[in-house]
Structure formats: structure tokens, C-alpha cells
Amino acid sequence: MSSLNELEDMEKLRGLSWMVALSQGLGITMVILMGVWLNTYMGGFAWDGSGKEFNLHPLCMICGMVFLYGEAALVYRVFRQTEKLKAKIIHASLLLLAFIAIVVGLVAVFQFHHKMHITNMYSLHSWFGMITVLLFCLQFLLGFLSFLLPGARPSIRSFYLPLHQFFGGGILTLAVISVISGINEKLFFKYKGTGYSKLPASAVIANVCGLVTIGFVLTILYIIQKKEWQRKPASAEEEESLAIHFQPISGHGTDTE
Amino acid sequence: MSSLNELEDMEKLRGLSWMVALSQGLGITMVILMGVWLNTYMGGFAWDGSGKEFNLHPLCMICGMVFLYGEAALVYRVFRQTEKLKAKIIHASLLLLAFIAIVVGLVAVFQFHHKMHITNMYSLHSWFGMITVLLFCLQFLLGFLSFLLPGARPSIRSFYLPLHQFFGGGILTLAVISVISGINEKLFFKYKGTGYSKLPASAVIANVCGLVTIGFVLTILYIIQKKEWQRKPASAEEEESLAIHFQPISGHGTDTE
């Protein structure tokens, strides 16, 4: 690459660096606000079927479905020079961590409902949340089968890639809808009557956490939709080396690397 | 244009037609469900400061901030052959209708709160809703100044266009967050205690309306992000003719057309 091209690229990517820094600031603030809200104002955490177990639900969901999911979405923008296969593994690993957080978060709320004899799955928040999680699992599975597991035909990959990218942003959008409606719902549960409308510190922190969440998500969506920040498609040699990597696993190759 | 190119274009646009048809089906279903829910199960409509006036709030907001806004977003995809200036006027007119619906919807909820002595602007729904409306107004104003009013420099237009497009989708996303958290909140207000969890017909209709809303919004977002469905940039002659159209108004030209 000529040094002129390199300079142009550096110029272009300076904006990306700032936006990534902003997203990280918002993401960490979002998780801290949620943690402080639940720990200081909502009774803290425990694994005993009480409201303290419920508190793990919003924390795990925002960590998994929003923060780790958003980080996973940034992998191909941030690890630009990293070998494609390694970037794919980082992307999938972050999503696996997200999946674990989501499972813990769902078990926490269902166990709490079970112990407290509260009906499951009636509110719009719960419907949206469950659809979001199911779409996340489907996207994770299809992404794994199409892009990480060897054997998927290039025609399938190139057909599925734009759908995977669109639903990547779509599922993050659904996740933030679930988070905001969930925080709103919890505050109405906690402050029955007019308590919420007096905006005690707890309600302000939770509301601000909701605003920071949408800030984080919009930053992520902005970064991933911007064409000039997208990672260049893998070169023919890199795709070839990926294929060689995979061949022994799929059993179609003879290379033993 | 050669007939081969025309055939290719028609092929590409067949998918667009289906997606637009789907979006229209979802959009109309969304508005009907909201109307039926409010009219049949929530007491109907009136302009008297009562709960019937409140009912105009969700109806106007979903019509303005989601349905008309979504229709406006589609204009450059649907009116592909229409002169650019006419398409801009249709886009701006739909947004003006949306703005009127939004104002009526906001007046309805503030008058209802005032008459019932209910505090304004404390819930996360209200914070999100107000931010969404303010961003809508800012986007509308900046869009008008940059793209419809003559005099904006081409460099400003080309700088602002991708931001206008991103915030177009972003504001629609914020709108759907406000709608879902609003429906959820209203159902908890209406069915105090365990009423909502028994999922009466009213709650089911409202929940389904929420799901249809996200279906409509995702369809719109899918259509507008797909590169091959974007309207081709205006030709040099068309931009020139737009400039001539505008010159008399801006006072810089001599053409009286």
C-alpha cells in the first residue's frame, strides 16, 4: 500500500476511533448505572428466588443483550488488521459470553416469578424480550453454521451476509426496546401510586441509565452502518488460507495444518 | 437505457415491491389495532380532558411518529421515477402531517394530565418520547434548510445527507421504543394488580399492536438501508433544473419559471 493511501486511511479511521471511544464510555457508564441502581437502591443481589435474584435479570440482560452484543458488533471494525478467522472467533466468543449472561438473566426472572407465584410472559416487555432472545439464538446459530463452521457454500455466505448484518442491528434495536420497557415497568412496580412521579434518586438513575443505553446503541448502529469504516473484504489469499484452515475439520481437505 | 438494463432493474425492484406491500399491510394493521384497542376497550375518544382525550395521545403518536414518518422514509424508494423536487415535496408534506398529528397527540396528554392533576414528564417513556419529538423537529428543520430551501451549498448537503439518513432511521427506532414502553405502561395503569397478567382481550390486542409496530418499523428500516433499492442520485441536468426552479425564490436568478 502506498504511504499516501495509508495516510488517507488513517484520516478516515480517526473518526472511527473517536466513535469507538465514545461507545465504550457510554457502554461502561450504562453497565455501572444499572449495577449501582440495582445494588444501592433495589436491594442488591442474591440467588435465593427473592427480589435480589430478580435484580440479576436486568443486570445480566443489559450486560449480555446490549453491552457484550454491541462489543461483538464492533469486532470487524476494531480488529481491522487481525486475521479474519481470529476476528470471527473473537466475534463468536463475545456472543457466547452474551448468551451465558442471557441464560443466567432469564433463569433469574423465571425462578423469581416461580417462587413469588407471579405469572410469566404476559407483558409486552416479556413478549418483546423473549422474541429478541429467540432471534438472538437463531442469528447466533445461523451465523455459526454459515461463517464459522466449514462447509457453507460461498453463495450461501454472500446471500446470508447482508441479512446477518441487518438482523445484527435489528436484534440490538429489539434489545434496547426490551431494556427500556423493562426499566419503565420495574419503576412502576416499585413505586406504586405516585412515587415514581416524584422522581426519587433511584428513578432518576434508572431513567438516565435508559438514556445512556440508547446512546450506546445508537453509537454502535452508527459505526456499523458507515460504509467507509467497514473492514475490507478478505483478500483471495486470506479466504484461501481460511479454507485450508477449515478443510481438515470438515473432512474435505488433505492439509493437516 | 438498454432493455437488458431495464430488465435487470425490474428484477431488482420486484423484491422492493413485495417489501413495500408488506410494510403497508403491517402499517395499516398497526393503526387499525391501535384504533380498535382505544375505541372499543379503552373508552373511545373525546376532547374533554378525560381519559377519552388521553386516548388521542397513543393514536396520534403512532399515526404521526411511526406510520406517517415511515411512509415519508419510503418516498425516495417508491417514487423512483418522479422528479426529485416533487419527491422532496411529498417527503416533506408527509412529515408535516406527522408533525400535526404529533402536536395534537402531545396536547391531548398534557391537557389530560393537567385536568387530572397528574405529574408530567417523569417516566422513562415520557423522557424518551420527548427526546424523540425534539430530534424529529430538529431533523425536520435541518432537512428543510439543507435540502428543500434553496441556497444550501452542495458541500453542506453532501456532508449532512448521510447524517440525515442515519438519524432518519434512528428517530424511527426511538419512536418505536416510546410506543412500546407507552403501551406497556398504559396496560399496567389500566390493569392494576394482576389484571394484565390474565391477558384479557384488550391486553392481547395492545400487545399484538406492539409486535406489529416493530414489524412495520423493521420492514421500513430494511427497505431504506438496502443499497440496491436506493434511488439513483439526481442527474446533472436534474440538479440543474432544480437549481433553476429555486433561483427566483432565493432571489439569485432571473428565470421566472
For testing contact with chain A, the best of B116, B165, B181 (most A CBs within 10 A): B181
d(CA B81, CA B165): 20
- Give the per-residue pLDDT at B238: 60
Nearest to A225 among B128, B185, B225 (CB): B225
The amino acid present at B48, given as its one-letter code, is D
- Give the per-residue pLDDT at B41: 96
For each of chain B's 257 residues, which pLDDT tens digit applies? 456 777 777 888 899 999 999 999 999 999 999 999 999 999 999 999 999 999 999 999 999 999 999 999 999 999 998 999 999 999 999 999 999 999 999 999 999 999 999 999 999 999 999 999 999 999 999 999 999 998 889 999 999 999 999 999 999 999 999 999 999 999 999 998 778 999 999 999 999 999 999 999 999 999 999 999 998 876 655 654 554 444 444 434 333 32
The cell for A122 is 404476559
Q: Closest-CA residue in chain B for A187? A: B123
* C-alpha distance from A253 to closest chain B C-alpha (Å): 37
Interchain pair B181, A176: CB under 8 A: no
Contacts of B123 in chain A (CB under 8 A): 184, 187-188, 196-197, 207
- Give the per-residue pLDDT at B114: 97
- Give the per-residue pLDDT at B252: 40
- Give the per-residue pLDDT at B241: 53
- Give the per-residue pLDDT at A42: 97
Interchain pair A177, B174: CB under 8 A: no
Write the pLDDT tens digit of every residue in B116-172.
999 999 999 999 999 999 999 999 999 999 999 988 899 999 999 999 999 999 999
* C-alpha distance from A5 to closest chain B C-alpha (Å): 22
Write the pLDDT tens digit of every residue in A37-71.
999 999 999 999 999 999 999 999 999 999 999 99
Which DSSP state fits A193?
A: T
**Cβ contact B133:B109 at 8 Å:** no
C-alpha separations of B132 from A206, A215, B23, B138, B190 in Å? 18, 13, 22, 10, 25
- Give the per-residue pLDDT at B6: 79
What percent of chain B shows pLDDT beyond 70?
A: 89
Q: Closest-CA residue in chain B for A195? A: B122
d(CA B56, CA B138): 24
Nearest to A196 among B122, B131, B181 (CB): B122
* C-alpha distance from A249 to closest chain B C-alpha (Å): 35
Domain ranges in chain A are: 25-250
Contacts of A122 in chain B (CB under 8 A): 196-199, 203
pLDDT band at residue A232 using 50, 70 and 90 as cut-offs: confident
**Fold topology of A25-250:** Four Helix Bundle (Hemerythrin (Met), subunit A) (1.20.120)
Cell 504511504 maps to which residue?
Answer: A3
Contacts of A124 in chain B (CB under 8 A): 180, 183-184, 187, 206-207, 210
* C-alpha distance from A207 to closest chain B C-alpha (Å): 5
pLDDT band at residue A4 using 50, 70 and 90 as cut-offs: confident
Which DSSP state fits B65?
A: I
What percent of chain A shows pLDDT beyond 90?
A: 80
- Give the per-residue pLDDT at B244: 41
- Give the per-residue pLDDT at A255: 34
The cell for B6 is 431495464
Query: Which secondary structure element, helix H or strand E, spans residue B76, and what is its range?
Result: helix B69-78
- Give the per-residue pLDDT at B12: 81
For testing contact with chain B, the best of A117, A181, A228 (most B CBs within 10 A): A181
Residue A240 falls in which region: left (phi positive, over 0), alpha (psi -120 to 50) or beta: alpha
Mean of the pLDDT values across residues A4-19? Answer: 85
Contacts of B206 in chain A (CB under 8 A): 124
**Which of the two residues, B239 and A220, has the higher pLDDT score?**
A220
- Report helix angle B69-78 to B154-190, nearest 10: 140
Interchain pair B174, A214: CB under 8 A: yes
Interchain pair B176, A176: CB under 8 A: no
**Buried/exposed A15-46: b ≥16 CB within 10 Å, e otherwise:** ebeebbeebbebbebbbebbbebbeeebeebe
Contacts of B118 in chain A (CB under 8 A): 197
Backbone angles phi, psi at B245, to 5 degrees: -50, -45
Interchain pair B207, A127: CB under 8 A: yes
- Give the per-residue pLDDT at B37: 98
- Give the per-residue pLDDT at A11: 81
Closest listed residue to residue A169, CA positions, set A23, A70, A96, A61: A70
Interchain pair B197, A122: CB under 8 A: yes
Q: pLDDT averaged over chain B? A: 90
- Give the per-residue pLDDT at B248: 42
Write the pLDDT tens digit of every residue in A75-94.
999 999 899 999 999 999 99
Interchain pair A184, B184: CB under 8 A: yes
Contacts of B166 in chain A (CB under 8 A): 221-222, 225
* C-alpha distance from B123 to closest chain A C-alpha (Å): 7
- Give the per-residue pLDDT at A239: 53
Please tell me chain B's helix, strand, coil percentages from 3-state DSSP, rounded to the nearest 5: 80, 0, 20
Which DSSP state fits B232?
A: P
Interchain pair A180, B185: CB under 8 A: no
d(CA B102, CA B94): 12
The amino acid present at A24, given as its one-letter code, is Q
Q: Closest-CA residue in chain B for A199? A: B122
- Give the per-residue pLDDT at A203: 96
For testing contact with chain A, the best of B116, B124, B205 (most A CBs within 10 A): B124
pLDDT band at residue A241 using 50, 70 and 90 as cut-offs: low
Nearest to B124 among A127, A180, A226 (CB): A180
d(CA B93, CA B20): 20
Interchain pair B124, A210: CB under 8 A: yes
ipTM of the complex: 0.90
pLDDT band at residue A247 using 50, 70 and 90 as cut-offs: very low
**CATH code linked to domain B45-250:** 1.20.120.1770
Nearest to B214 among A174, A185, A196 (CB): A174
Contacts of B127 in chain A (CB under 8 A): 207, 210-211
